[in-house]
Amino acid sequence: MPHPLATALRRRTVLGLGASLAASAAIPAFAQAYPSRPIKFIVPYAAGGGTDLLIRALQDPLSKSLGQPVIVDNRSGAAGAIGAREVARAAPDGYTFLVSNNGPSIIVPLLQKEAGYDPIKDFTPVTTIATAPIVLVAHSSVPAADVRKFIDWARTEPQGVAYASAGVGSIGHLAAEQFAKVTNLKFVHVPYRGQAPTIAAVLAGESPIGFTSASDALLAHLQAGKIRLLGIGSEQPSALIPGGIPIGASVPGYRADFWQGILAPAKTPDAIVAKVHDAIVDALKVPEMEARFARMSYSATHAAPSQFAKSLASEVDVWKTLIRERGIRGES
């Protein structure tokens, strides 16, 4: 007759094994069951802007891939902080995502103490969806046709060189300050409200140079010879800016890109992140999607969640240091 202790031990082993098998089976079952209802992608800007148009281009193929409706919800305000904060506080269940860029995801929380979220701790990166290089352009009166000659000329200007950007805390603003830092140039910031007035200021000669992102309007002016292209912020030449030479070729280590990406609330399960990541990658591969993005002056891109997380952490460190060293403050 079996000893009572041996019987008890066998019973515990069987029960423990059963629990382990049930737990391991539950993981793929959970991933397979997701999603079971509509998924919301929050855009922290008004409808019609670049961020909004990009996710709407992906909306239909994403819905088909995930088997559930994809809802685009515009929550604008506070330079994107309102929408980003809502996602940061949402349940990490895979039904709320943020469509964002360098602004709401990095620069805003670094400049606005009242933003109400941490750029790293409160989000789980999923993937980038698009990138565009920051562009350095000049008025025709600037006696330089490239970055090196511009630097030489700028050093002869005793009062410094005024530059236009889309506003305090914009990616163009920080890209310009980073350029001034690494080249030891004196710059004077002239902030405008958006890209259109930034380009207009350079066209009119109100500001001799401008740091901004690519757009159809900008390309038209460049092609017409109304303003001059000095360089682009990407590490490699970009098909979006024909003839654009990376600033890093003259200023080693310099890089300034504008990205758009998808983030989830912190602690969103890896299985859900992987599933949404794969669906987005598939959507980006839909025929004509790359051309559709290019018409909006973006390159379609994607990154593994771990790669995107590493890139975000690195960018936070770069801009945090720059903001401190240059004494940059957000608008009150």
Model confidence pLDDT, tens digit, residues 157-198? 999 999 999 999 999 999 999 999 999 999 999 999 999 999
138 belongs to a structural domain: yes
Q: Is residue 11 part of a domain?
A: no
According to the model, what pLDDT value does residue 58 have? 98
Q: Among candidates 231, 217, 191, which has minimal Cα distance to 296?
A: 217
Range(s) of the domain holding residue 305: 37-132+258-326
The structure tokens listed for 97 are: 């995502």
Q: What is the pTM of this model?
A: 0.88
Residues 193 and 211 in one domain: yes
Q: Write the pLDDT tens digit of every residue in 187-200.
A: 999 999 999 999 99
Residue 45 C-beta-side C-alpha neighbours within 13 Å? 17
Which domain CATH number covers 173? 3.40.190.10
Residue 202 domain-assigned (yes or no): yes
Which tokens go with 33?
């069951």
Domain count, the chain: 2
Q: 281: burial class by Cβ within 10 Å (0-12, 13-18, 19+)?
A: middle
Does residue 27 lie in a domain region? no
Q: Is residue 156 part of a domain?
A: yes
- The C-alpha R_g of the chain, in whole angstroms, comes to 24
Q: Are residues 224 and 148 in the same domain?
A: yes
ω before 35 within 30° of 0 (cis)?
A: yes
For 32-66, b/e burial (b = at least 16 CB within 10 A) is eebbeeebbbbbbbeeeebbbbbbbbbbebbbebb
Q: Cα separation of 37 and 34, whole Å?
A: 8
The answer to the question of residue 71 being in a domain is: yes
Tokens, residue 325? 């060293």
Clarify whether residues 184 and 282 are in a common domain.
Answer: no
pLDDT at 323 over 50: yes
pLDDT digits (tens, 9 = 90+) for 48-72: 999 999 999 999 999 999 999 999 9
Task: Kindly report, residue by residue over 252-286, the tens digit of the pLDDT.
Answer: 999 999 999 999 999 999 999 999 999 999 999 99
pLDDT at 330: 87
pLDDT tens-digit map of 91-140: 999 999 999 999 999 999 999 989 999 999 999 999 999 999 999 999 99
pLDDT for residue 1 = 47
Q: What is the CATH number of the domain that holds 310?
A: 3.40.190.150
The DSSP H or E segment spanning 96 is strand 96-101
- Taking the C-alpha atoms of residue 36 and residue 34, their distance in angstroms, rounded to an integer, is 5
For residues 190 and 162, the answer to whether their CB atoms sit within 8 Å is yes
Asked if 177 and 318 sit in the same domain, the reply is: no
